[in-house]
Amino acid sequence: MCLPSQMNTNKLKLKFIFILGTTEIGGAEKQAILLGNELQKIQSYKVFFILFGNKTGKAALRLEKLGIPYRIQKMPDSFFTIVKLYKTLLYIFRLRLFKPTVLLPYTNGPNICTSLIWKYTGAKACFWNQRDEGIGLINNSITRKAVSNATCFIANSLGSRDILVKMFPTIEQRIFLVNNGIETIKINVNRQEWRKRFSFSENDYLICMVANLHKDKDHETLIRAFKKIVDDSNCSDKEKFKLLLVGRHDDKYNYLLKLSKDLNLLERTYFLNEIESIPDILNAVDISVLCTFSEGLSNVAIESMIVGVPFTGSRIDGIVEVVGSDYTAYLANPRDSEDLAAKILFFRNNQQVTKELVKRNKERATNLFSVDRLYYDSLNLFLSYL
């Protein structure tokens, strides 16, 4: 394969417009910003971001820090046909002003609305980015029209690809797999200092889940598993166990807070909201857990493996693809709190095996999920359609 750096790509005056469905940060937004920064930094391409939303959020702040220009605007949608038409025309007009070469929408809303209208914007291609296993994606006439219009589809996992094939079989040959990339991880605060800042002792066993608290993640199973651990009569040092739920307080926060209170876990459960440096917290905890109903390719699973913290979670395709099929014995059945509790205790009680698995995970993640691979695979795909 010819690498972009070996081509005269700097002679091509390309402009990439990324369209995100929120001004906040999630896995999809993190990957889009990472790719945009690489395109701007390595090849000096023009990069611009459109963020659907009403206020400046974490994604916008990260773009500012990287020096990447962006605009916040409302999603071109409405209950009223005339208003929807006006917003759509305005969206097309604004995109045309940016003179895009390539449009890169991420997640359902941007994917659908941009694929529907991209041919009127002056762009040469529109790449639909499928970042999960079809959460909220509906096979209706509007979506089918958008799917038929898109230049091609980028899936970040086998699960993401398979859901597109299942829902829209005719596009199978236009779907390309590009893995997530994880930028070089820097630990700014060591384990001891981080624990000291948050008033945890070195002897505390910290169980951590990094995921925004919304309906598509399964924090409830982890909380119920934690309850089984602390109630386990065979667990002699259960007072040392603490649960850290790190993520934006979205639509499930109040429910999870009440659940922790009802299960008498509130004193040892910590809702830390968003923390700027995820690698710092992963480096400070004893095990990273990801319980979820659906997942594309999990950033936090990859980051946990690279940092070198034991990892377990739901045995679903998106996570199995990250850790490898030979690791499934160390994952829990979805929605099974008893099995998850057993997996966490296994890592706690088998230090030598845990050490070997951590080493294995770090090697796998470093080899498969590099920023270079994300950049080169993406750019080669873009250039093949221009």
Listed by start position, the domains of the chain span 4-181+370-384, 191-368
191-368 belongs to CATH 3.40.50.2000 = yes
| Residue with tokens 């010819």, as numbered in its chain | 2
Q: Which of 344, 351, 334 is nearest to 230 (CA)?
A: 344
Residues 6+ apart with CB under 8 A from 102: 14, 15, 16, 17, 123, 124, 125, 126, 127, 382, 386
CB distance 88 to 113 below 8 Å: yes
Q: Which of 370, 366, 368, 372 is nearest to 39 (CA)?
A: 372
Identity at 273, one-letter amino acid code: N
Q: In this predicted structure, what is the pLDDT of residue 1?
A: 43
Same fold, 4-181+370-384 and 191-368: yes
CB distance 277 to 189 below 8 Å: yes
Q: In this predicted structure, what is the pLDDT of residue 305?
A: 97
Q: In this predicted structure, what is the pLDDT of residue 5?
A: 47
Q: In this predicted structure, what is the pLDDT of residue 2?
A: 46
Identity at 154, one-letter amino acid code: I
Task: Say whether pTM exceeds 0.85.
Answer: no
Strand partners, 269: 243
- Please state which CATH number belongs to domain 4-181+370-384: 3.40.50.2000
| Residue with tokens 């700014």, as numbered in its chain | 188
Per-residue HEC secondary structure of the chain comes to CCCHHHCCHHHCCCEEEEEECCCCCCHHHHHHHHHHHHHHHHCCCEEEEEEECCCCCHHHHHHHHHCCCEEEECCCCCCCHHHHHHHHHHHHHHHHHCCCCEEEEECHHHHHHHHHHHHHCCCCEEEEEECCCCCCCCCCHHHHHHHHHCCEEEECCHHHHHHHHHHCHHHHHHEEECCCCECCCCCCCCHHHHHHHCCCCCCCEEEEEECCCCCCECHHHHHHHHHHHHCCCCCCCHHHEEEEEECCCCCCHHHHHHHHHHCCCHHHEEEEECCCCHHHHHHHCCEEEECECCCCCCHHHHHHHHHCCCEEEECCHHHHHHHCHHHHHHCECCCCHHHHHHHHHHHHHCHHHHHHHHHHHHHHHHHHCEHHHHHHHHHHHHHHCC
Distances (CA, A) of 357 to 308, 344, 347, 351: 9, 14, 10, 10
First-to-last CA distance in the chain? 17
- CA–CA separation, 118 vs 274, rounded Å? 34
Q: Which of 213, 32, 216, 215 is nearest to 110 (CA)?
A: 32
Strand partners, 52: 73
Q: In this predicted structure, what is the pLDDT of residue 13?
A: 82
How remote is the C-alpha of 165 from its chain's centroid?
Answer: 21
Strand 102-105 versus strand 125-130 pairing type:
parallel
User: What are the 10-residue block averages of pLDDT along the chain, 386 residues in total?
Assistant: 48 87 91 96 93 90 95 74 72 91 95 94 96 88 96 93 95 95 88 94 96 94 96 76 95 96 96 86 97 87 96 94 95 97 95 96 93 94 94
